[in-house]
Chains A and B, each alone.
Chain A
Amino acid sequence: MIEIEQLAKTYRRGDQLVTACTVGHLSIGRGEQVALLGQSGLGKTTLLNMIAGIVRPSQVRKLLVADQDLTAMSESARDRFRGRHVGIVFQTFNLLMPFDSLENVMLGALFGQGSNQHTRERAEELLRRVGLADRMHHLPGELSVGQVQRVAMCRALINEPQLILADEPLGNQDRKTGGEVLRLLLEIAGEEDCTVVMVTHDPESAAMMQRQIDLADLRQAS
């Protein structure tokens, strides 16, 4: 599912080069559920962004995602690829203000496989599944943090993606509700054979995943 070799992202700050992220080798199989660990500032977010095709690596030998070579793709091709095959959940403020829950999920479809009757039914089904049947027409401001993250999760799943990237999606939520959200995500992803890569600081959440990777260990790996 994900094949990475000799990947690095550097930023120029003044006349200094700052390395944001380096990965020697990383391979993640289809349907795997992986927890990405590591200290703050190590480059976890940058890595996810490169896998999503949002950020272009500075140096790369190999970057394959869902059998696609991202290094050979134009920006708009990567946008299309991401919309169609990758679901993303951020740490906070995932939802767009003027849209209700259902519409936010449908935005994922609009920029992904297309907004139609089928995706709409799937959106409603997903929202029901995560317990938001009676919150479909609530605006983000009318939802709790946990509910917002569940909507964001549904949006990431709407296009039946091959890969879900989650960047500390549970944030500062309390363990119990956060754990419940994560359990649901992993359950649905498992059913659909969807790969999950999730950045987390929480050992308990990491323990729920099949595999735990510390980014620090990937740096020098050959």
Chain B
Amino acid sequence: MNLFRVSLRNLRLRLLSTSLTTLSIAVGAGMVAALWLLIAETEKRYTTNTQGYRAIIGPKEGSPLSLVLSTVFNLGIEPGVVPLSVYKELHEGDLARRLGLVYAIPQARGDTFGGFPIIGTTSEMFTEFRRGKDEFGEYRMLDLAEGEAWTFDHAEFLAFAEHLAEHAAEVAADGGEHNHEHEPLPDEHMAAVIGSAVADRLGLELGSEIVPVHGRADEAVVAHKHEDSACRVVAIMAETGGPLDRSIFIPMDVFMSMDKHDAIRPGQDAASDSVLISAIIVEARARLAEFHLRNAFQTRTDAQAASPSIEMRQLLEMVGDATMVLRVTVYLVLFVAGISVMVALYNTMNERRREIAIMRSLGARRHQILRIILQEALLIAFLGGGLGVLLCHVSAYFFAPLVSDISGVMVDWRAFSVDELWLILGTCVLGGFAGILPAIKGSLVEVADNLGPVS
């Protein structure tokens, strides 16, 4: 028999009150833990997922942030197109040499399938692109889980662009009177490499057919299908845990051959814009290459360079400010739960006067009574805190798909963190404070007045 056991038994005696107050602490602590988990996972996703993108070159229209969100996270609408000349310059120009260019991969956006973005690109996406580093500092590539990627590399892309430009010139020369049919693309180009989430959600497998829809799924009214550009799934990427899982890659030439008239913006030169590059993903060996690129493009009018890591840091700071109200609310919920523990314990003190008087008559000193009641508050807080953290992870397990659909953040329900131990410690401190008043009231119970026969 010890004082701890006495506290435990008292809690068990008032099981309903104990459960309710523990639950209220659990809800409060669970909300705090969930918020922390969400913030941590958001930061983790938004920083690890930008690792492979040293810099992104995009159109001057739109903010660097929207360029990053669109290119890295498939969020928002691609701001516009980059001239082919910029792409060529990145590969052959002086700038490329100075930066020690590793790759500059074009991406074209605007079509979707089943709500997932279709991205026109070159085979460098599978052979060169580094999506980050693993724990040993080795580069992670876009690995394929099944199948084999289509091939359409940088050189082929340039040749195709050349051909398009000539064709456009011809059309312009005879005033568009004749019908200039493109030669049909080779069959093996009508291929798509899809992300693991795309395969899962849409139930696609190797050989499945993808019919690009122009526009986004949520713009279904104006969207139209490119029936003649149907692509077969030739490969499924290994899971990355990031937005790449939700992407569909097709060769640039297939993308560009689709009916694009409505995508060409008025006032732009049809010949050069028929290439329609939305963004160029750049990796370079030079230290601080992202800053050099940003400065180099600062004064230009044809394109801009954005650094995903800088943009994300700024965005996260903004998000931090925006979630202030949410954070305050959540802490308040926990605080109120602490008050409910105090009120519940305080209210039992009247009915416990005789019990306390008996213990005192047995020799219990006031500080021992104080300790027993304080321990009860601490136990409730500790149990509530632990339960809350558990609750958070259980709900993360169930709600992770929903969160990822809404925000693109994939919450890992198994991501337990040291912060959660601090949270439990924090709830214990809260419980300790909540116990002070009831404990004092209990310790002040007068023995003689409460020992008389109960009438």
Interface of chain A residues 59 through 105 with chain B (CB within 8 A): 75-76, 79-80, 82-84, 88, 90-94, 96-99, 103
Closest chain B CB from A84 CB (angstroms) = 7
CA distance A98 to B367 in the complex (A): 21
Q: Which residue of B lies closest to A92 (CB)?
A: B453
Q: Which listed residue, B13, B358, B447, B448, touches A98 by the CB 8 Å rule?
A: B13
Residue A107 interfacial (CB < 8 Å): yes
Size category of the A interface is 20 to 34
Interface window among B4-12, B168-176, B231-239, B390-398 = B4-12
Contact A93 B365 (CB under 8 A): no
Interface of chain A residues 32 through 77 with chain B (CB within 8 A): 45-46, 49, 52, 54-55, 75-76
CA distance A98 to B447 in the complex (A): 20
CA distance A200 to B22 in the complex (A): 46
CA distance A55 to B448 in the complex (A): 7
Contact A94 B360 (CB under 8 A): no
Please, which residues of chain B bring their CB within 8 A of the CB of A150?
A: none
Residue B267 interfacial (CB < 8 Å): no
Residue B272 interfacial (CB < 8 Å): no
Please, which residues of chain A bring their CB within 8 A of the CB of B2?
A: 110, 115
Q: Which residue of B lies closest to A158 (CB)?
A: B362
Closest chain B CB from A172 CB (angstroms) = 10
Contact A84 B9 (CB under 8 A): no
Q: Which listed residue, B9, B12, B363, B448, touches A80 by the CB 8 Å rule?
A: B363
Please, which residues of chain B bring their CB within 8 A of the CB of A111?
A: 359, 362-364, 368
Contact A79 B354 (CB under 8 A): no
Residue A109 interfacial (CB < 8 Å): yes
Known: A45-B452, A54-B448, A98-B12. A109 touches B1 (CB 8 A): yes
Residue B454 interfacial (CB < 8 Å): yes
Interface of chain B residues 340 through 366 with chain A (CB within 8 A): 354-355, 358-366
Q: Which listed residue, B355, B360, B448, touches A79 by the CB 8 Å rule?
A: B360
Closest chain B CB from A42 CB (angstroms) = 15
CA distance A91 to B364 in the complex (A): 20
Q: Which listed residue, B359, B365, B453, touches A76 by the CB 8 Å rule?
A: B365
Known: A92-B453, A106-B1. A79 touches B9 (CB 8 A): no
Q: Which listed residue, B359, B365, B367, B454, touches A96 by the CB 8 Å rule?
A: B359
CA distance A155 to B2 in the complex (A): 16
CA distance A96 to B365 in the complex (A): 17
CA distance A46 to B449 in the complex (A): 10
Q: Which residue of A lies closest to B356 (CB)?
A: A96
Please, which residues of chain B bring their CB within 8 A of the CB of A90?
A: 358, 361, 451, 453
Contact B453 A155 (CB under 8 A): no
Closest chain A CB from B363 CB (angstroms) = 2
Closest chain A CB from B256 CB (angstroms) = 78
CA distance A27 to B452 in the complex (A): 26
Contact A54 B362 (CB under 8 A): no
Contact A103 B362 (CB under 8 A): no
Please, which residues of chain B bring their CB within 8 A of the CB of A88?
A: 361-362
Please, which residues of chain B bring their CB within 8 A of the CB of A97?
A: 13, 355
Residue interface bits A130-167, CB-to-B below 8 A is 1, else 0: 00000000000000000000000001000000000000
Closest chain B CB from A106 CB (angstroms) = 4
CA distance A38 to B230 in the complex (A): 107
Known: A49-B448, A94-B358, A106-B1. A82 touches B363 (CB 8 A): yes
Please, which residues of chain B bring their CB within 8 A of the CB of A75?
A: 366
Contact B13 A76 (CB under 8 A): no
Q: Which residue of B lies closest to A123 (CB)?
A: B1
Contact B454 A92 (CB under 8 A): yes
Please, which residues of chain B bring their CB within 8 A of the CB of A84?
A: 363
Known: A55-B448, A110-B2. A80 touches B365 (CB 8 A): yes
CA distance A107 to B355 in the complex (A): 12
Contact A82 B1 (CB under 8 A): no
Contact A91 B453 (CB under 8 A): yes
Q: Which residue of B lies closest to A156 (CB)?
A: B362
CA distance A93 to B9 in the complex (A): 18
Please, which residues of chain A bring their CB within 8 A of the CB of B367?
A: 76
CA distance A54 to B357 in the complex (A): 10
Known: A54-B448, A109-B1. A79 touches B453 (CB 8 A): no
CA distance A80 to B361 in the complex (A): 10
CA distance A76 to B358 in the complex (A): 15
Residue interface bits B189-219, CB-to-A below 8 A is 1, else 0: 0000000000000000000000000000000
Please, which residues of chain A bring their CB within 8 A of the CB of B454?
A: 92-93
CA distance A204 to B9 in the complex (A): 40
Q: Which residue of B lies closest to A85 (CB)?
A: B363
Known: A79-B360, A83-B364. A115 touches B452 (CB 8 A): no
Please, which residues of chain A bring their CB within 8 A of the CB of B12?
A: 98
CA distance A79 to B366 in the complex (A): 9
Contact A98 B10 (CB under 8 A): yes
Contact B355 A103 (CB under 8 A): no
CA distance A103 to B13 in the complex (A): 15
Q: Which residue of B lies closest to A50 (CB)?
A: B448
Q: Which residue of A lies closest to B367 (CB)?
A: A76
Known: A96-B355, A97-B355, A98-B12. A112 touches B447 (CB 8 A): no
Contact B358 A96 (CB under 8 A): yes
Closest chain A CB from B380 CB (angstroms) = 16
The 4 closest A-B pairs by CB, nearest first: A83-B363, A111-B363, A98-B9, A106-B1
Residues of B within 8 A of A (CB): 1-3, 6, 9-10, 12-13, 354-355, 358-368, 447-448, 451-454
A-B contact pairs, 22 of them (CB 8 A): A49-B448, A49-B451, A54-B360, A75-B366, A79-B363, A79-B365, A79-B366, A80-B365, A83-B363, A83-B364, A88-B361, A90-B358, A90-B451, A96-B358, A98-B9, A98-B13, A110-B6, A110-B362, A111-B363, A112-B362, A115-B2, A171-B453
Apart from A98-B13, A111-B362, 13 more pairs, CB < 8 Å: A49-B451, A75-B366, A79-B366, A82-B363, A88-B362, A90-B451, A96-B355, A96-B359, A97-B355, A98-B9, A99-B9, A109-B1, A110-B1
